Amino acid sequence: MKKSLALGLAVSLVMGLGVGCAPSKPAAPAAPAEKPAAEAPAAEAPAASEKIYIPVISKGFQHQFWQAVKLGAERAAADYGVEITFEGPESETQVDKQLDMLQAALAKNPQAIALAALDSKSATPYLEKAEAAGIPVVGFDSGVDSPIVKTTAATDNYAAAGLAADKMAELIGGKGKVGLIVHDQTSQTGVDRRDGFVNRLKEKYPEIEVVPVQYGEGDHAKSTEAAKAIMTANPDIKGMFGANEGSIAGIINAAKELNKVGKLTIIGFDSGKLLLDAIKADIVAGAITQDPVGIGYKAVEAAVKAYKGETNPEFIDTGFKWYDKTNMDTQEIKEVLYE
């Protein structure tokens, strides 16, 4: 009897232990085994959220022209879903500062770069670094004089300045002295606008004499002094051409200071409030306008395409137009002017 009782107690104890262990016994539940599969979408997240980053490095910030280019670049960035930064030195004479910006942009390993070079030769070592890293560089506005840069979105500045020369010749009767204030002789815009204007006059209008070209660095004060020097040395001068916003501002200022308003024909390039007001006041006969918003837009668009391996034309012509008091308020012209 005692043996049977002991055996029963033993069996009960073993069964009790078995029941007590049951809750902690889950054998290879499905959830832990499937956890890696559940995390798979997270592994794809970086590719899905990858952002195309394109630094846009302009020649400066001191003119409203660059703010209009910035607006166009930002519109393209929004349309194409890419991230951009837009920067440039305070003055278009600060080549070293622009090169620092280019170097800093390269350090961020962007997908592409858009550059309006102040000095193409100085930029060459950085362009070579970009090429070695597989970072395409797109030129805009003045572009970049380098075989590394395959595409440039810009005005045909040589042709645009040629049109300014034709207008000048027409307005002064095809003869007389003409002077130029140009922003620089290192950027492609400076070279092309100078040569486009001068060469057209030499080729088509032999009775027009072009006096030595002066450079004002795109600065209002320096351009004013340069224009005054030309007007003083050539009291019989009949026409003056300003090759950018700062250059024409200097000519306008000089004409006012030397009492030359109405006594010579003045033609400008670009726009800005000072120039627009001067045209309305009959101080300036007219000017060539680019499409700065279009330049910024096309530069970013081309950079995106270059990154994706799509084909861009070597030159993307963003267009130019002549405007004066008779057409500056038309919709076609108003949309490409800025103050």
Q: Which of 269, 248, 278 is nearest to 322 (CA)?
A: 269
Tell the residue number behind the tokens 């038309």, with chain if given: 330
Task: Using pLDDT thresholds of 50, 70 and 90, give the confidence band for residue 91.
Answer: confident
Top CATH class, 157-289 = alpha beta
Average pLDDT of 215-221?
Answer: 95
Average pLDDT of 202-224?
Answer: 97
Alpha carbon separation from 337 to 11, 251, 288, 296 (Å, rounded): 100, 20, 10, 14
**How confident is the model at residue 122, as a pLDDT?**
94
Distance (Å, whole) CA 271 – CA 286: 10
pLDDT of 338 strictly over 50: yes
**How confident is the model at residue 188, as a pLDDT?**
85
Q: How far is CA 4 from the centre of its chain?
A: 99
Radius of gyration for the chain, computed over Cα atoms and rounded to the nearest angstrom: 33
Residue 258 CB-density burial (10 A; 0-12 exposed, 13-18 middle, 19+ buried): middle
Could you tell me whether strands 137-140 and 321-324 are parallel, antiparallel, or unpaired per DSSP bridges?
Answer: unpaired
**How confident is the model at residue 156, as a pLDDT?**
95
Average pLDDT of 204-212?
Answer: 98
CATH of domain 51-155+292-319: 3.40.50.2300
Could you tell me whether strands 83-87 and 53-57 are parallel, antiparallel, or unpaired per DSSP bridges?
Answer: parallel
Distance (Å, whole) CA 198 – CA 211: 10
- Report the percent of the chain where pLDDT is more than 90: 77
Across the chain, mean pLDDT equals 87
Q: 287 φ, ψ to 5°?
A: -155, 165
Alpha carbon separation from 313 to 134, 138, 281, 299 (Å, rounded): 19, 11, 41, 12
Q: Which of 270, 58, 51, 62 is nearest to 157 (CA)?
A: 270
pLDDT of 283 strictly over 70: yes
Average pLDDT of 278-286?
Answer: 98
- What does the DSSP assignment read for 183-247? S-SSSHHHHHHHHHHHHHHHHH-TTEEEPPPEE-TT-HHHHHHHHHHHHHH-TT--EEEE-SHHH
pLDDT of 282 strictly over 80: yes
Distance (Å, whole) CA 73 – CA 296: 4
Q: How many CB atoms lie within 10 A of CB 74?
A: 17
pLDDT of 135 strictly over 90: yes
Task: Using pLDDT thresholds of 50, 70 and 90, give the confidence band for residue 13.
Answer: very low
Model confidence pTM above 0.85: no
Asked whether the beta carbons of 213 and 236 are under 8 A apart, the reply is: no
Q: Which of 18-32, 61-75, 120-134, 313-327 shows the lowest mean pLDDT across its residues? A: 18-32
- Report the percent of the chain where pLDDT is more than 70: 86
Task: Using pLDDT thresholds of 50, 70 and 90, give the confidence band for residue 243.
Answer: very high
Tell me the residue type at 195.
D
Q: Specify the 3-state DSSP secondary structure of 115.
A: strand
Distance (Å, whole) CA 173 – CA 208: 9
Domain ranges (residues) in the chain? 51-155+292-319, 157-289
Average pLDDT of 118-132?
Answer: 95
Beta strands in 279-339 (DSSP E): 286-289, 315-317, 321-324
Q: What is the pLDDT of residues 18-59, one digit of tens each?
A: 334 333 344 444 444 443 433 333 333 334 447 899 999 999
Q: What is the pLDDT of residues 143-191, one digit of tens each?
A: 788 999 999 999 999 999 999 999 999 999 999 999 999 999 988 899 9
Task: Using pLDDT thresholds of 50, 70 and 90, give the confidence band for residue 251.
Answer: very high
Taking the alpha carbons at both ends of the chain, their separation in whole angstroms is 114
**How confident is the model at residue 335, as a pLDDT?**
85
**How confident is the model at residue 187, as a pLDDT?**
86
